[in-house]
Amino acid sequence: MKRNWCLLLIFLSGALASAQIEITLNRQFVDDFADRVTIDSNFRVDVTSKIHSASQDGDIHVAGTSSETGMLTVAEVMNAKTEKTKAVKTLMGAAGTNQPVQISGAWRIWSEHGGEQDYVQGANVPPVDNSGVAHVFEIHPITRVAGEDVTHTWEPIPGFTYKDADDAFQTYERTRSKISEANGTVTIATEKSGYNYTEFVARLLTDPFHLNGGTGVMAAILDKNGDLLVKERRLVFAAGTPPEQTILGMHKGQAVQLLGIPRVNLKLVKWRLDNQNDTKKCPNCLTWNLPYEMIVAAVTDESPSIPE
């Protein structure tokens, strides 16, 4: 039995090495964005996708970069057809012109669309010609384009089948990582992890609290049957969005059904780095599974019927 466990550990280590994605961020960026929901970006638009059909998620993808993100970035407008004559038109018109567009939205670092390569913040980013290019940094969902408020797009997506919470959170929870720090940078080695737009129930463990650019809450994660999936995770809500307006009226102990997407939790990355030498508080914590939180993109039920 012991030999079998050793073989399993060797296999898992090899699997991580073979599917490894390395994301290197400036340590200052990690510190600055640990408690920040959104990012403001002077965005170079290289190429845009068409507006996706509802069955594909209803987004539009905008590939490019900015000095604020520091790497290849894909920005996305939710429910993009509602903005096709305004924000979407602006983004499409800017593609390939080298005339930056001011974009704001939830910053998102996640490995779903990453290739097996290194992503280094601050490296040169040549123009790309494919909105589906491999990437790990997103501004998703967008809240503002060239001064145009698009927070109304943070709503349920008609015609789209949301990801199942049981499957999605199992994947989030078991995604492995290794964090290291050197010369003012932080490197997160991880693996691909998908499941965008997952529907789940959150039972609030705290009252909502202020974050830079929005609101946060700690919550237990349940499926729609009320079964506990995760004991505690931070949820973040961008300022002025319909989900934030809902959560600001709620309190500890209440439940709400949400649509969310995962991102790396830089506050936990910072905590692990700051406490890595504390063997009681943080034993081997730089190799714990990937720290994540959920960006709440929409509210699907303000009063879900689940057992207390």
Whether residues 63 and 172 share a domain: the answer is no
Tell me: do 74 and 41 sit in the same domain: yes
What's the pLDDT score for residue 19?
A: 54
The CATH number for 135's domain is: 2.40.50
Q: Are strands 292-301 and 228-238 parallel, antiparallel or unpaired?
A: parallel
- The verdict on 43 and 145 lying in the same domain is yes
- Give dist(CA 118, CA 15) in Å, integer: 17
Give domain status of residue 128, yes or no.
yes
Same domain, residue pair 29 and 132: yes
My answer on whether 254 and 297 are in the same domain is yes
Kindly state the tokens that stand for 126.
């040549």
Residue 14 covered by a domain:
no
State the distance between the two ends of the chain, measured CA to CA, in whole angstroms: 41
Total domain count for the chain? Answer: 2
Same structural domain, 140 and 169: no
Does 4 reside within a domain? no
Q: Are residues 220 and 288 in the same domain?
A: yes
pTM passes above 0.85: yes
Within 13 Å and on the Cβ side, how many CA atoms surround 211? 28
Kind and range of the H or E run holding 243: helix 242-247
Q: Which of 202, 167, 176, 166 is nearest to 297 (CA)?
A: 202
Residues 171 and 95 in one domain: no
| Domain shared by 45 and 101, yes or no | yes
Q: Which residues contact 175 (CB under 8 A, 6 or more apart)?
A: 111, 190, 191, 193, 289, 290, 292
Q: How confident is the model at residue 62, as a pLDDT?
A: 98
DSSP letters along 59-98, please?
-EEEEEE-TTT-S-EEEEETTGGGGTTTHHHHHHHHTTS-
In a domain, 3, yes or no: no
Q: Kindly state whether residue 264 falls inside one of the protein's structural domains.
A: yes
Q: Do 227 and 272 have their domain in common?
A: yes
Does 141 sit behind a cis peptide bond, omega within 30 degrees of 0 on the bond before it? Answer: yes
Residue 199 lies in a domain: yes
Cα 38 to Cα 5, 63, 109, 213, 218, distances in angstroms: 43, 18, 12, 6, 18
Where in the sequence is the domain holding 64, given as residue range(s)? Answer: 21-153
Are residue 107 and residue 136 in the same domain, yes or no? yes
Backbone angles phi, psi at 220, to 5 degrees: -85, 145
Co-location of 215 and 263 in the same domain = yes
Report yes or no on 16 lying in a domain: no
Instruction: List the chain pLDDT tens, one digit each, 308 residues.
Output: 444 444 444 344 444 444 589 999 999 999 999 999 999 999 999 999 999 999 999 999 999 999 999 999 999 999 999 999 999 999 999 999 999 999 999 999 999 888 878 999 999 999 999 999 999 999 999 999 999 999 999 999 999 999 999 999 999 999 999 999 999 999 999 999 888 999 999 999 999 999 999 999 999 999 999 999 999 999 999 999 999 999 999 999 999 999 999 999 999 999 999 999 999 999 999 999 999 999 999 999 999 988 76
- Which of the 8 DSSP states describes residue 164? P
Does any domain span residue 2?
no
